C-alpha cells in the first residue's frame, strides 16, 4: 500500500495550448485536478500526497502576467480551508516560499496554522522548488547552528546522512513510496532526490489535467505488484 505519493504535475501549459486555450487555463486545470487527486488519495488510503506545484524557474523565466496568475492560484487555497478541515486534511509547504509575495506567505501560513492539528491526510505543496538551493540553504543553516559547538574537524565529522536529512525541508515527511511524472518527459528534475533512493518511479504520458482515477489506479497497481526487497 502506498503511504506517500509524490507527483511532478507536468504539461499543464501544453494541455491548454492543445485545446487552443490561454496558458492560464492550463494552470487553472492544474489546481482543479490537484484538488480532485487529493480527494482520491484520501479515498484510497494514501496518507501523504506531495505535489510539485511551482518551480524556481516558473518565477524567473515566465512572463509576469503568467506568474501573476500562478500566484493568484496559490492565494486561492484559502477558499478551500473549510473543505480541508472537513476532510481532516493537514496542509503544509516545503522549500523556499520566502520568494513569494508577502500576502501569499501570509495566506499559506494561515492555512497551515488552521490545519496543523489535522491528521487524516497530509497535503504538501512544493513551492519555489530547486533542490540545489535547498542544499545551499541546508549548509548555511548547519554551519550557523554549529559554528560555536565544534572545531572544524568535529564539524566535518558531524556531517552524516541522518544529520543531513534533519536539515532538509522534507524532514517532516516519510520517504516517498512512488514518484509520478506526468507528460512525456522521463527525468526526475531533482525532485525529492535525497529521499528517493528506494522510491518507485512511474512515468505516464497522460498530461496532468487528464491524470484521473484510472491513472491513479495504474500507479497503485504498479506499486502493489513491484518487487521490493528491502525495509525502509
Instruction: Report the distance separating Cα 137 and Cα 134, nearest Å.
Output: 5
Q: Terminal CA-to-CA distance of the chain, rounded, Å?
A: 14
CA atoms within 13 A on the CB side of 71: 18
Q: Which residues are catalytic?
A: 10, 58
Q: Is the distance from CB of 5 to CB of 41 less than 8 angstroms?
A: yes
Instruction: Report the distance separating Cα 223 and Cα 217, nearest Å.
Output: 10
Interior angle at CA 24, CA 15 and CA 49, nearest 5: 70
Q: Is the distance from CB of 108 to CB of 166 less than 8 angstroms?
A: no
Amino acid at each position: 500500500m502506498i503511504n506517500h505519493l509524490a507527483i511532478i504535475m507536468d504539461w499543464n501549459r501544453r494541455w491548454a495550448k492543445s485545446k487552443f486555450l490561454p496558458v492560464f487555463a492550463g494552470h487553472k486545470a492544474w489546481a482543479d485536478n490537484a484538488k480532485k487527486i487529493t480527494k482520491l488519495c484520501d479515498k484510497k488510503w494514501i496518507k501523504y500526497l506531495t505535489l510539485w506545484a511551482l518551480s524556481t524557474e516558473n518565477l524567473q523565466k515566465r512572463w509576469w502576467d503568467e506568474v501573476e496568475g500562478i500566484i493568484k492560484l496559490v492565494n486561492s487555497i484559502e477558499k478551500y480551508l473549510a473543505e480541508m478541515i472537513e476532510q481532516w486534511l493537514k496542509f503544509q509547504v516545503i522549500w523556499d516560499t520566502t520568494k513569494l509575495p508577502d500576502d501569499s506567505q501570509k495566506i499559506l501560513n494561515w492555512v497551515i496554522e488552521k490545519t496543523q492539528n489535522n491528521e487524516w491526510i497530509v497535503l504538501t505543496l512544493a513551492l519555489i522548488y530547486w533542490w540545489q538551493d535547498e542544499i545551499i540553504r541546508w549548509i548555511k543553516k548547519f554551519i550557523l547552528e554549529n559554528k560555536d559547538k565544534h572545531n572544524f574537524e568535529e564539524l566535518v565529522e558531524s556531517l552524516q546522512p541522518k544529520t543531513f536529512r534533519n536539515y532538509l525541508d522534507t524532514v517532516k515527511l516519510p520517504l516517498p513510496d512512488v514518484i509520478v511524472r506526468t507528460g512525456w518527459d522521463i527525468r526526475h528534475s531533482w525532485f525529492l532526490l535525497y529521499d528517493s533512493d528506494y522510491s518507485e518511479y512511474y512515468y505516464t504520458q497522460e498530461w496532468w489535467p487528464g491524470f484521473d482515477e484510472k491513472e491513479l489506479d495504474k500507479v497503485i497497481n504498479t506499486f502493489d505488484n513491484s518487487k521490493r526487497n528491502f525495509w525502509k
